[in-house]
Amino acid sequence: MRDSAVDRLYLRSAIALAEKGLFSVTMNNPRVGCLLVKNGRVVGRGWHREDGGPHAEINALNDATEDPRDSTAYISLEPCCWEGRTSACTAALIDAGIARTVIAGRDPHPRVAGGGVRALLEAGIEVTEEDLSKEAQALNPGPGKRAEHKRPFVRIKTAISMDGRTAMADGQSRWITGEAARADVQYWRARSAAIITGVGTVIADDPMLNVRDQRFGNAEPIRVVVDTRGRTPPKAALFGEKGRVVIACSKGVEPIDRAEMWELQDGPNVDLPMLLDALSELGCNEVLVEAGATLNGSFLKQGLWDEMIVYVAPRLMGETAKPLAALGFNTMGETVSATVKSVETLGPDIRIIYTP
């Protein structure tokens, strides 16, 4: 009789391995970990290290300290069963003679979605599904969102005062929060495939929108500026950093050096659903919106968000300062509601994470 408690213990170790790819696997693929266990001993460990590279199962098999035949593979996500940029992991597990697999949850990708489990069962490999999908999916909100809605997982990040203000009337916002909160932002940037801001923020704050904390490796999110009329200054600080810069604009805007011009117009403005669809098609799993009141308001009113990260600083900025979002509601029925997911103290500030 199988010991479910032992299975879950090993499976949580596989999930911990998957977390090693948190800042290097941001495009296309999910973050996955794999543990090979034979005769009560771990004989191989692997995780998906980078986009386009070998999957976790392949890395675990290559890491095996002895013949993995007849071992159990603990995998944080159902193994893929189709060949893309890499070969199918189910085929590798079958060829290696794996006797049993234990997975934390099914892969939502339409090309897998139960097909991996079927392939293993048809090959005579025992498959056990332990319901640790919430723990595994916390590392992979993006692939599921893209599979179901063809859009990345969207986080809106903002810093506010106690009276809900994000910048002074002239646009000045450095610094509302303390060092601990600003350091925490680096984590969210590093795990994102793209960072979206508005041209107003670029003009007012001239942000670099990069990942400066070396703990997160060489993460280089795509920097996207929503700029309908092409007002981004050619010497903006974000052009001085490595990586791609995208200007989401209307048709006919003059090209800007070092930027990719994406014409995504809907009426007078940039079409945000079209922008998210384009980023999903590119392979972006998670995106972070770091913008001002106007763009924040657009994402919120259109329901184009999955989490909101709000850093609240213990200061008052006054009624003339700018709000979190420009919404212009007139009735309670129009308002945006949210649920508190978590609350944490960071130095003098508080971080609140909301979900719709």
Query: Minimal CA–CA distance to 80: which of 48, 125, 114, 123?
Result: 114
Backbone angles phi, psi at 281, to 5 degrees: -60, -35
Count of H-run helices and E-run strands, the chain: 10, 18
Active site annotation includes 66? no
Distance from C-alpha of 16 to C-alpha of 92, rounded to nearest angstrom? 22
Which residue shows structure tokens 């945000």? 272
Distance from C-alpha of 88 to C-alpha of 237, rounded to nearest angstrom? 42
Backbone angles phi, psi at 87, to 5 degrees: -75, 165
Tell me which DSSP letter residue 237 carries: G
Question: What is the bridge-based pairing of β-strands 33-38 and 41-47?
Answer: antiparallel
Q: Which of 19, 57, 126, 263 is catalytic?
A: 57
Long-range contacts for 345-349 (Cβ within 8 Å, ≥24 apart)?
346/177, 346/178, 346/180, 346/181, 346/184, 346/311, 347/178, 347/179, 347/180, 347/181, 348/178, 348/180, 348/313, 348/314, 349/159, 349/177, 349/178, 349/180, 349/181, 349/311, 349/312, 349/313, 349/314
* 3-class DSSP state of 322: strand
Residue 186's CB: how many other CB atoms inside 10 A? 17
Amino acid at 243: G
Distance from C-alpha of 178 to C-alpha of 184, rounded to nearest angstrom? 10
Q: Which residues lie below 8 Å from residue 103, measured CB to CB, with a gap of 6+? A: 11, 75, 76, 77, 78, 79, 117, 127, 128, 129, 130
Point out the residues that are catalytic.
57
